[in-house]
Amino acid sequence: MNPLQQIVAVVDPGMQPGAALPRAAELARRSGARLRLFMGAYAPMIDAGRDLAGGKVRKLARNEYLEIRRHWLDRQAAPLIDAGLRVDCEVIWTSELHQALIAYAWACKADLVIKDLMPPRKGATRMPLSAADWRVARTCPSALMFVRQDSGMLPRRIAAAVDVGLDRGDSPHPLNEVIAGIGAGVAALAGAELHVVHAFPYRRPLLAVEVSGDLRALYADVHRTAQANFRRFTHEHGIAADRQHWITTSGDVADALARFARAQAIDLLVIGSSYHSIISRLLLGSAAEGILRHADCDVLLVKPADFGEQLRRQYDLAALLDAMRFDTVPTAAAA
């Protein structure tokens, strides 16, 4: 993992304190990165009244709404600046948080974006992701960390979930390298344990497979190859034997990883995602989406190397940057 230089904390427009900002600030302090506090704010009632009030009145109302949040964000930043951190604040009027965040993260070349997950509703057993969270997860161009409200300042046990089935021969898949690199980097900053886990999907043989020795042999060969890839990968990354975890599951891989995280008291799970598009939308891979739905710990979502190109095919980044007109990001940073 390259040293962190730009960390973005996505701050609640309702001006409620969360766990993301303290974590981002502590990681910035330990890494020396610039900390950027980003808020996407929007009041539907102000826009809804545009036909009843003149444009000037609507503009004044919007400016006042944003100014209140700018002052609040400045107050959050003040003690961090006094402590020696380099901090910028950005408040943007937008009804589409994910689009604003795409543009902002792209413009400031964010290495890491950290966002709160709001507490679950009473009686719920899972930390819910809002519609805005899902859109951010699918489109954020940077590594994205979702933080629960009951999380500590920093994670103590981190697990990097790799898919050695993607490896070819002696060459680890680039996404696995990124997952392990980011996991190791955050672990070093946090002083945390780093574990590596792989969930191997076992499918009960059908009758046709049971009577075919060739097919059984093929499955056994795939299993042996994956195990060899996993052992080589963990050895190359210096992972101790007691922090290597191989899971064979007959069920859903995402559910198996979520159960593993609970059993091992993992408080940050680092996962990668293969992306695909459908009907002009970017979608997460099924395993990543399942983990985000079911994990009880914080999740760090890592993007593939070609994600920027996929993003360019879906969004006009130049138009997004022009529409946002960020105050704290120089125009040259978008180049």
Residue 335 has pLDDT above 50, yes or no: no
Average pLDDT over residues 79-92: 96
Predicted TM-score of the model (pTM): 0.88
CA gap 140, 138 in Å, rounded: 6
pLDDT at site 74? 96
Please report, rounded to a whole number, the percentage of residues in the chain having pLDDT higher than 70. 82
Q: Which CATH architecture has domain 1-151+306-335?
A: 3-Layer(aba) Sandwich (3.40)
Which residue would you say has higher pLDDT here, 194 or 283? Answer: 194
Residue 285: pLDDT band with limits 50, 70, 90: low
Residue 160 and residue 270 in contact, taking contact as beta carbons nearer than 8 Å: yes
Q: What angle do CA 267, 273, 276 make, to 5 degrees?
A: 150
CA gap 163, 325 in Å, rounded: 40
Helices 131-139, 97-108: axis angle to 10 degrees equals 30
Give CATH for domain 154-304.
3.40.50.620
Residue 295 has pLDDT above 50, yes or no: yes
Which residue would you say has higher pLDDT here, 74 or 56? Answer: 74
1-151+306-335 and 154-304: same fold?
yes
User: What tens digit of pLDDT does each residue of 121-164 get?
Assistant: 555 555 567 888 888 988 899 999 999 999 999 999 999 999 88
Average pLDDT over residues 52-64: 79
Q: Could you tell me the residue ranges of all domains in the chain?
A: 1-151+306-335, 154-304
Residue 281 has pLDDT above 50, yes or no: no
Average pLDDT over residues 276-302: 73
